[in-house]
Amino acid sequence: MIKNANFEETGFNYTLSLISGKHKMGILYCLMEYRTVRFNELKRYLKNISDKTLSTKLKELERDRLVVRTEYPRIPPKVEYSLTDRGKSLMQVLDQLCIWGEKNRLN
């Protein structure tokens, strides 16, 4: 990192902007664990999340090219979500957060 750099221009701030918010890291974690997941499955895994919030967060993750949405043309419509290669590369960082949390959890 460059000394005296503006915080908004740092890689740290950019990464935080991609995963910030209450549910994004949970969504990414579910996709890492279960690989390909349908909308209602994500809802069940995440528990207390509204349809609107989940839809919004998935669209943001898709816009940031961390998640890919695959729609199958059938009735009823089938839509699945999975991590992109870019999203998978971020999982290395999130995995380290999990490891740190397990080692440093306060009782």
Tell me the CATH architecture of domain 22-104. Answer: Orthogonal Bundle (1.10)
| Chain segment 52-92, per-residue pLDDT in tens | 999 999 999 999 999 999 999 888 889 999 999 999 999 88
pTM over 0.85: no
Label residue 12 left, alpha or beta by phi (over 0 means left) and psi (-120 to 50 means alpha): alpha
What does the domain layout of the chain look like in residue ranges?
22-104
What's the mean per-residue pLDDT of the chain? 89
Residue 2: which pLDDT band, with cuts at 50, 70 and 90?
A: low
Q: Is the pLDDT of residue 1 over 60?
A: no
